[in-house]
Amino acid sequence: MKRIAVLTSGGDAPGMNAAVRAVVRTAAGYGQEVVGVRRGFQGLHQGDMRLLGARDVANTIQRGGTILLTARSHTWRSPEGRAQGAAFLREWGVDGLVVIGGDGSFHGAHYLYQEHGINVIGVPGTIDNDLYGTDHTIGYFTAVETALDAVDKLRDTAASHERIFVVEVMGRHAGHIALDVAVAGGAEEVFLPEEEKHVSSVVEIVQQSVSKGKASSIIIVAEGYPGGALGVAAAIEEGTGFDTRVSILGHIQRGGTPVSSDRILASRLGEAAVHGLIEGRTDVMAGRMNGEIVFTPLSETWEKRKDLNRDLYRCAKNLSV
């Protein structure tokens, strides 16, 4: 192996820079050069790349976003686009590519390997934590912390006004963020995409809560729950007549200085991805499960279902009494 390329793709996630740094420095330790591709697959299609040395990633471990930039690429969906990208990689003498991103990005990587034989390794970089094959994804811990910080702030107002707040957190298909935030934020209830719980159940919960003497409540709703926070709030107001406030946290959950857990996970997985390429692995994702590095076929990362933590779900319910 002579050269390794690295790109970040899809939605940005805190810790992506720590992963890029780990790829560059691990490769440097093996005497390998690293080619940084800008703007994800779109940049790869356009040949927008440059060499990255160990000093080029200095002072980046603490930065949010991605210094390589990212994009959602349309051209990559066509076989011609991918052929063009593969040609650029060969031109630069690259024989292994690390793709940091989510399941869309892993599809792109998978095709590149299938169609052009480029060795690819995925590194899970997405705040949603919705990939099979790793306990956590890079960016997830920071997103939870940002959402929790917002909930703590809203709690001040909820408690002072004795009001109900319905807070919508990110998670289009997965309730991981919502569940963690609910437990850590001491929420009354949580609505997840994975649950079939009907929104009307919130009425009884709120009424019980009031009858127990609770003057204020926080209710967490994952973005992907049908109707979202607005739907839940409407159900409460209609069913109980209580004054309710909605807060949709939105994009702030993507940014910010990564917390330690994301930087450490990114460092471990960036390192593992290079090791994997050197060992001849391809078409797999480097993940961490129960503290150990594991490699999972890319296709399994999106085909297999990562379950919610049921114990935590039960815990959330039990502690909101």
Is 4 labeled as ligand-binding? no
Q: Which is nearer to a copy of itself, 80 or 212 (CB)?
A: 212
Minimum CB separation of residue 257 from a copy of itself in Å reads 7
Q: Which is nearer to a copy of itself, 106 or 141 (CB)?
A: 141
Annotated catalytic residue, options 48, 56, 95, 128: 128
Minimum CB separation of residue 176 from a copy of itself in Å reads 12
What is the side-by-side strand order in the sheet with 244-248?
Answer: 189-191, 217-222, 164-169, 244-248
128 in catalytic set:
yes
Q: Which is nearer to a copy of itself, 76 or 113 (CB)?
A: 76
Strands, E, within 59-130: which ranges? Answer: 94-101, 120-124
Is 155 labeled as ligand-binding? yes
Is 254 labeled as ligand-binding? yes
With both helix axes pointing from N to C terminus, report the angle between 201-211 and 228-240 in degrees, rounded to the nearest 10. 60
Please provide the DSSP assignment of 125-162 as one string: B-TT---TT-SS-BTHHHHHHHHHHHHHHHHHHHHHHT
Residues 6+ apart with CB under 8 A from 268: 22, 288, 293
Q: Which is nearer to a copy of itself, 86 or 158 (CB)?
A: 158
Is 77 labeled as ligand-binding? no
Minimum CB separation of residue 79 from a copy of itself in Å reads 26
Is 23 labeled as ligand-binding? yes
Q: Structure tokens of 268?
A: 């471990």
Q: Which is nearer to a copy of itself, 25 or 110 (CB)?
A: 25
Kindly tell me the burial class for residue 55, based on how many C-beta atoms sit within 10 Å of its own C-beta (0-12, 13-18, 19 or more). exposed
Closest CA to 251 of 129, 131, 150: 150
Which helix or strand (DSSP H or E) is residue 88 part of? helix 79-91
Minimum CB separation of residue 88 from a copy of itself in Å reads 20
Is 32 labeled as ligand-binding? no
Question: In Å, how far are 1, 7, 20, 205, 301 from 40, measured between CA atoms?
Answer: 22, 5, 13, 45, 19
Minimum CB separation of residue 251 from a copy of itself in Å reads 5
Cite the annotated binding site for ADP by residue number.
Answer: 21-25, 155, 186-188, 212, 214-216
Cite the annotated binding site by residue number.
Answer: 11, 21-25, 72-73, 102-105, 126-128, 155, 163, 170-172, 186-188, 212, 214-216, 223, 245, 251-254
Cite the annotated binding site for ATP by residue number.
Answer: 11, 72-73, 102-105
Active site residues: 128
Cite the annotated binding site for substrate by residue number.
Answer: 126-128, 163, 170-172, 223, 245, 251-254
